[in-house]
A and B are shown apart, each in its own frame.
Chain A
Amino acid sequence: MRVKERKVVKMGDLTLAIEGTWMTTWKDGMERGEEIRVRAIVHWAGEKPWSVSCVMDDGVLSPYAGSELAKEYGSAMADRHARQFLRWLGLCFKDEASRLFNALDSTFLFNPEYRQRPSAIDTCWRLARVGVVASTLAITFNQLRVAVSKSFVLDIQNYRRYAPLDIFALVGECLCNFAAQGGKELDLAAAFVEVAEKKLQEEVSANGASDR
């Protein structure tokens, strides 16, 4: 069985789809395990789409996977991992290295300090896995950052208006909000303007209050 959940982020010429896939894996003619993958599909207008993917989790088959709830379970897992990936992407934009490190650690449990004696080979395996995820994140992050840089946001007038708010941190906030809300599609440009204008209004009202 294979269930996919897709989240789409649009920014200027770029359509970025984050696709979580939950699937059962087969061995000796039997469904024995499950695997969750996240694929980032990068589609620039007028160009051929391409993708990068990574395995987020695999292991023995969950009891849910054999029941009538399998589809719902798979869908929930795929959705959860796609959202998690978007959240990490948001943390990259916000440059919150510490939170990103902790988020990766709580998913992959690679830091031996906080675990009940994982073996060294296990630690290596977890670090190898986090490396693949980091590579996928870095590629996706770079593509989206290029899209933001090419978009209207960095036009001279908009740049002057929004730069004091830290443009990339706001993009990160939009991505984190989208991940938390669990929508299917995000118009990043519109979300950015909404969040930025709200922040500007807040600043104006805060300055007004301090002047009074």
Chain B
Amino acid sequence: MLHKGPTVYRRVIFPSAALEARARWKAVNGKAGKTMLRVRIYWLDDQRVREYPPALFRYSSDPLNALLFSRQAAIEEAMREAAEATDAYFVWLGLALQEERPLLFDGMTHFFKFDPSAPFATSMLYGAQQLGEWALLLRAGCAVVETEIFRHFPEDARKHVKELGAFLQNWAYRPEERVAEVVVFADANGQFAIKDAREVVRVLP
């Protein structure tokens, strides 16, 4: 039986910081599974790292265990589940950076069932609780993106934030580049640029 799936990482590297979202599927009591998302911020200059409280992506009612799958299939399924969590994070982060508030709000409230038409007030509360954990991680992500871009690319910073938002949103939808990182850097002319590294190449502190 598979107890833990592999961790799926995605990173956005800025000139002096990095934002990392990682997710992992884990078995719960051998009967169900859950996928948690963790967000870390690395400050590259002073080799510091901060991890925020983890947030639950979802419970999987169907256990990804070896009774149902071969071990390899179970691992792949667990990876797919974790990748979905990191995708969701970057899609929502992209929306937040583009100031697409209604889309972000509707997407998150729908996913987490924080819905005024819920049959039970408690199910709405649990949705709100889960959504709140994610919102905190998104806020941390937004804060580091804005800080880094305003610090290193002060000219048209707001425009660059939106550009990065659009890039992240598209990037998260491209499955072939799932284990990858995005690098935000100054090009040869000192202008804002984003590149998509296909492999994780950087060793973070």
Binding site for B on A (CB under 8 A): 91-98, 100-102, 104, 110-113, 117-121, 123-135, 137-138, 141
Contact A134–B132 (Cβ < 8 Å): yes
A98 CB contacts on chain B under 8 angstroms: 116-117
A100, B132: Cβ atoms closer than 8 Å:
no
- Could you say which of B100, B121, B129, B135 contacts A91, with CB atoms under 8 Å apart? B121
Sorted nearest first, the 9 A-B pairs with minimum C-beta distance are A131-B132, A134-B128, A127-B135, A101-B116, A112-B101, A120-B96, A128-B136, A124-B139, A128-B135
B142 at the interface (CB under 8 A from A): yes
Between-chain CB contacts (< 8 Å), 26 pairs = A92-B121, A93-B121, A97-B117, A97-B121, A100-B125, A101-B115, A112-B104, A119-B101, A120-B97, A120-B98, A120-B101, A121-B96, A123-B104, A124-B135, A124-B136, A124-B139, A126-B135, A128-B136, A128-B139, A130-B132, A131-B130, A131-B136, A133-B128, A134-B125, A138-B126, A138-B129
Does the CB pair B132–A102 fall under 8 Å? Answer: no
Chain A minimum-CB-distance residue to B123: A97
A211 to chain B, nearest CB (A): 35
- By size class, the interface of chain B is 35 or more
CB nearest neighbor in B for A95: B121
Q: Report the minimum CB–CB distance from A117 to chain B (whole Å).
A: 8
Given A124-B138, A138-B122, 10 other A-B contacts at CB below 8 A?
A: A95-B121, A110-B105, A119-B101, A121-B96, A123-B135, A124-B142, A127-B135, A130-B132, A131-B129, A141-B125
Q: Which residues of A contact B205 (CB under 8 A)?
A: none
Q: Which of B121, B126, B131 has the most CB of A within 10 A?
A: B121
Kindly identify which residue among B114, B122, B133 contacts A92, using a CB–CB cutoff of 8 Å: B122
Q: Report how far A89 CA is from B102 CA in the complex, Å.
A: 28
Nearest CB in chain A to that of B140: its residue = A124
Chain A proximity of B147: nearest CB distance (Å): 11
Which of A94, A117, A130 has the most chain B CB atoms inside 10 A of its CB?
Answer: A130
Taking CB atoms and an 8 Å cut-off, the chain B residues in 145-166 that contact chain A are: 146
Inter-subunit contact B138/A134 (CB<8 Å): no
Q: Which of B67-124 contact A (CB under 8 A)?
A: 95-102, 104-105, 108, 114-124
A129 to B99, Cβ gap below 8 A?
A: no
Distance between Cα atoms of A127 and B132 in the complex (Å): 5
B193 at the interface (CB under 8 A from A): no
Please state if A120 and B100 are interface contacts (CB–CB under 8 Å). Answer: yes
How far in angstroms is the closest Cβ of chain B from A46?
27
Query: Which residue of B is nearest A113, CB measured?
Result: B102
Minimum CB–CB distance from B89 to chain A (whole Å) comes to 12
Contact residue among B104, B105, B115, B122 (Cβ-Cβ distance under 8 Å from A141) = B122
Contacting residue for B135 out of A93, A131, A133, CB 8 A: A131
Tell me, yes or no, whether B143 is within 8 Å of chain A by CB: yes
Q: Which residue of A lies closest to B105 (CB)?
A: A112
CB neighbours (8 Å) of A138 from chain B are: 122, 125-126, 129
A135 to B136, CA, bound (A): 14
Which chain B residues border A102 with CB–CB below 8 Å?
116
A129 vs B129: C-alpha distance when bound (angstroms): 9
A118 nearest CB neighbor, chain B only: B101
